[in-house]
């Protein structure tokens, strides 16, 4: 009997670890929100599509700064932690994709859609998230910079600082 309980506990643990990042919908204040690991295509489906497309269309990045990104933005992998319930995420993430599209970024950023109580969400803990959205750039598996909740100047200006190794550190970054 003890072996059976041990085996069932182990199976339950494995299942729960596998489903932590599985994309699903939850309800928050009567809205459907995404939770789990996903990608841009998930934001281009209803009901998220409406605000994604509007905020993408209405963002007008500085063309000169976007040109500066073209040379080396593809050297970076991008991880985004965002909430589909969060106004800052709804504004910044579509704008980020517009900047990346104009800069010719051909990789697919990984997106972790966090629940409202994200501080207890495993990926948020793993990445040390204090606010959303958080946009993290990696080069050769090393973090090179993160934009937390909002850009300090503009998305494209902050990205240029990161990819040009200009000692970018967001003012909300509490890590040492």
Render pLDDT for 144-157 as a digit per residue (tens, 0 to 9).
Answer: 999 999 999 999 99
Tokens of 6: 């041990």
Would 116 be classed as within a structural domain?
yes
Render pLDDT for 62-84 as a digit per residue (tens, 0 to 9).
Answer: 999 999 999 999 999 999 999 99
Do residues 173 and 146 touch, judged by C-beta distance below 8 A? yes
Domain residues for the domain of 76 are: 24-163
Report the helix count and the strand count for the chain, using DSSP H and E.
7, 6
Would 172 be classed as within a structural domain?
no
Number of domains present in the structure of the chain: 1
Would 173 be classed as within a structural domain?
no
For the residues 23-48, what does the mean pLDDT come to? 96
Would 6 be classed as within a structural domain?
no
With a cut of 70, say whether residue 18 has pLDDT above it: no
Tokens of 172: 């909300």
Do residues 151 and 158 touch, judged by C-beta distance below 8 A? yes
Instruction: Output the domain CATH number for residue 73.
Output: 3.40.30.10
pTM of the full structure: 0.87
For the residues 131-154, what does the mean pLDDT come to? 97
- How does 62-99 read in b/e, with b if 16+ C-beta sit within 10 Å? eeebbebbeeebeebbbbbbbbbbbeebbbbbbbbbbb
Percent of the chain with pLDDT strictly greater than 70: 88
Would 31 be classed as within a structural domain?
yes
């Amino acid at each position: 009997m003890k072996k059976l309980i041990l085996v069932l506990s182990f199976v339950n643990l494995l299942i729960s670890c596998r489903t932590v990042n599985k994309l699903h919908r939850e309800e928050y204040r009567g809205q459907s929100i995404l939770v789990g690991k996903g990608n841009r295509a998930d934001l281009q489906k209803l009901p998220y599509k409406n605000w994604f497309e509007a905020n993408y269309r209405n963002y007008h990045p500085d063309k000169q700064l976007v040109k500066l990104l073209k040379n080396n933005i593809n050297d970076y992998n991008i991880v985004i932690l965002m909430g589909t319930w969060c106004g800052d995420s709804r504004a910044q993430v579509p704008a980020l994709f517009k900047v990346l599209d104009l800069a010719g970024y051909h990789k697919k950023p990984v997106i972790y859609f966090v629940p409202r109580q994200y501080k207890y969400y495993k990926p948020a803990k793993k990445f040390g998230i204090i606010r959303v959205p958080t946009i993290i750039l990696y080069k050769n598996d090393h973090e090179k910079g993160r934009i937390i909740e909002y850009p300090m100047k503009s998305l494209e200006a902050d990205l240029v600082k990161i990819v040009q190794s200009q000692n970018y550190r967001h003012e909300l970054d509490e890590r040492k």
